Structure 1
């Protein structure tokens, strides 16, 4: 698990964050993109994608 995501290592979708490569496109302002909220927003998007694939 990357150091910046250690606090999410027990998240049900943590395995997806451990992948060697992934791309996330998010149309947000730089302020939002570089804020601490970006991880939570990314996890929320991953949860939506996982539900769509189920």
Structure 2
């Protein structure tokens, strides 16, 4: 399970979202089971201790 993901940059609806906005979008995707992941062009998530 992904715990407390650190959002670096998220492309949603062709827009660059960073910070809390990105976190909110990703959180919604996780909660929704990635039902709208097809709408996300690129998602970069860094897990704690990840490379």
- Answer yes or no: same fold by TM over 0.5: no
More strand by share: 2
Q: Which of the pair has the greater relative contact order for Cα pairs under 8 Å at 6+ separation?
A: 2
TM (norm. structure 1) is 0.34
